[in-house]
Structure 1
Amino acid sequence: MNSPGGHPDDKPSVTIRCHDTSSAGVTFCDRFSFDADSVHYAVELRAPGMAARVDEVVAWIWDSDLATFLEELAADYRGWDGERSWHTDDRDLTVSAVFRSGGYAGLTWTLRPWRGGVGGWAASVTTWLEAGEQMTSLAADVRTFLTRGQP
């Protein structure tokens, strides 16, 4: 899932591909930081006939972060009832998770920038991952992506 490449000039990124439909997926890329309190990054969604990108999603160090949410899902690899969700402080990125029989978790990634502004839009992609090993790997990749270069 992590595609940091092997070259030192490659920018770190994380790509999540759907188990059921490999052309559907999510990419975290273009990470940067202005200070020690936040990390900024881009999120790209793609599915057949659709592509969307938000250039500046912000993760604050004091928030319950996405990696923690994914780690909790991975810890519950035997399943859970209902839907669980997480969102950024600005709610420009939301992730909801459901469990289905057979040991797979469906993660619906929704981008919704400029929620209050005129001309706002939203796009969603659902990726299905194996709830154990794939989810654990994704959580580790996201944590590495969000904390790279941080103390």
Structure 2
Amino acid sequence: MTSLGVDTDGKTGVTIHSRDDTSVGVTFCDRFEADADCVHYAVELRAPGLTARVDGVVAWFRGSGLPAFLEGLAVDYRGWDGERCWQTDDSDLTVSAVFRSGGHVGLTWTLRPWPRAAGGWSASATTWLEAGEQMTSLAADIRCFLTEEHR
């Protein structure tokens, strides 16, 4: 389940909750420094006993980004074998996707700030969504958030 919304400061954000456990979620928020080439934003993970956040994630508007990756998963709503992965150029956000019987997609969101620094950390949470409508909605919501388009 995803929701594209506006917080009390008037900023747009996207929240993804797992259909199996709504206490597990990912939020894209605090979009800043948008220009013709890229936008910066924050990603937050939540799960029982876990709260993690990475600021300054960069989405480049060239090539295929996270919206295109998610749209590809939505198009393949009948399923696929194995795992599909996407990551930011800086490797601070990685998304891996698996398909399970019954038409559900598991998205594992991994935050890894400063991935090349010694002593860095990483945190992951997995959300489960329906392969069809929920994946299509997520892809559209992420595209809107990153480009500030409104449906």
TM-score scaled by length of structure 2: 0.93
Equivalent-residue separation in structure 1 for 2:23 and 2:14 (angstroms): 15
2:145 is paired with a residue whose SS is: helix
Count of residue pairs the alignment pairs up: 148
1:14 is paired with a residue whose SS is: strand
Equivalent-residue separation in structure 2 for 1:34 and 1:23 (angstroms): 31
Equivalent-residue separation in structure 2 for 1:138 and 1:61 (angstroms): 18
1:68 is paired with a residue whose SS is: helix
Higher strand share: 2
In percent, how many aligned pairs have the same letter?
A: 70
Structure-2 change in CA distance of 1:109 and 1:58 (3 Å)? same
Give 1:45's aligned residue.
45
Q: Are positions 1:72 and 2:72 aligned together?
A: yes
Displacement of 1:20 after TM fit?
Answer: 0.5
| Contact 2:38-2:60 within 8 A present in 1 as well | yes
TM-score scaled by length of structure 1: 0.93
Quick one: which amino acid aligns to residue 94 of structure 2? T
Query: Cα RMSD between the aligned structures?
Result: 1.4
2:16 is paired with a residue whose SS is: strand
1:136 is paired with a residue whose SS is: helix
Residue correspondence of structure 1 range 34-113 to structure 2 within 5 A: 34-113=34-113
Displacement of 1:119 after TM fit?
Answer: 2.6
Gaps of 5+ in 2: none
Q: Cα deviation per residue 1:114-133 (whole Å; 9 max; x = unaligned)?
A: 11113300000000000000
Q: Are positions 1:142 and 2:142 aligned together?
A: yes
Residue correspondence of structure 1 range 3-22 to structure 2 within 5 A: 3-5=4-6, 9-22=9-22
Quick one: which amino acid aligns to residue 104 of structure 2? Y
| Contact 1:78-1:131 within 8 A present in 2 as well | yes
Gaps of 5+ in 1: none
Equivalent-residue separation in structure 1 for 2:100 and 2:34 (angstroms): 40
Quick one: which amino acid aligns to residue 148 of structure 2? R
Give 1:130's aligned residue.
130
Range moving further from structure 2, 72-81 or 60-69:
60-69
Q: Are positions 1:2 and 2:3 aligned together?
A: yes
| Contact 2:3-2:15 within 8 A present in 1 as well | yes
Structure-2 change in CA distance of 1:91 and 1:133 (3 Å)? same
Structure 1 segments (4+ residues) deviating >2 Å = none
